[in-house]
Amino acid sequence: MSDQGLFLTLEGIDGAGKSSHLDALEALFKAQGRTVVRTREPGGTPLAETLRGLILEQPMDPLTESLLVFAARRDHIVQVIEPALARGDVVLCDRFTDATFAYQGAGRGFDLAVLSTLEQWAQAGRAALPASTLLQPHVTLWFDLAPEIAAQRLAGARVPDKFEAQPVEFFRRVAQGYADRASADARRFVRIDASQTREQVWLQIESELTTRGVLAGRGAG
């Protein structure tokens, strides 16, 4: 329904090509009369964008990194995501909590149970949902790509941040982290074969969103 907010996230390892489809997704929903809030993580608010710079560029241990990620997420949820969903908007977000479990958890090897606790803390005390309910995307497009191919795509594209500069083995762990998250929440995740051409990827995105009843303002299915 048009008055129902939709929270759609794009996930995948660096180089998977997810961000390149945000323009088309935004245009698609706007063409159907929806108001779109386009955002990203870490980031999305002035405070969270400041924290993003620290997270992506400054060396730190996994706990410090995770605390900053969840601090940025808390501000992002309270200031941007929940108000937009309450208005009935479509929120298109480049990464969300799945990325934390994939990068800091699987990639860095940080304790998943601690990440789950931090997730609970970061989302506590919000009026929009009961205390025991975590805000999760309605649909997550997971751009699945072999880390070796992703590395080839990233090579020479720009000066890498500290994550993009990681070795392929790091991204193998991250990719497995995403696969584990998708397996645990198959109803929410849509696997996109990111090894296809850009045009083929877009056709798969349209098809999957149509099948799930997400397009034409019909809700998240």
Per the annotation, where are the binding residues for ATP?
A: 12-19
Residue numbering of the annotated binding site? 12-19
Q: Are 141 and 10 in contact (CB under 8 A)?
A: yes
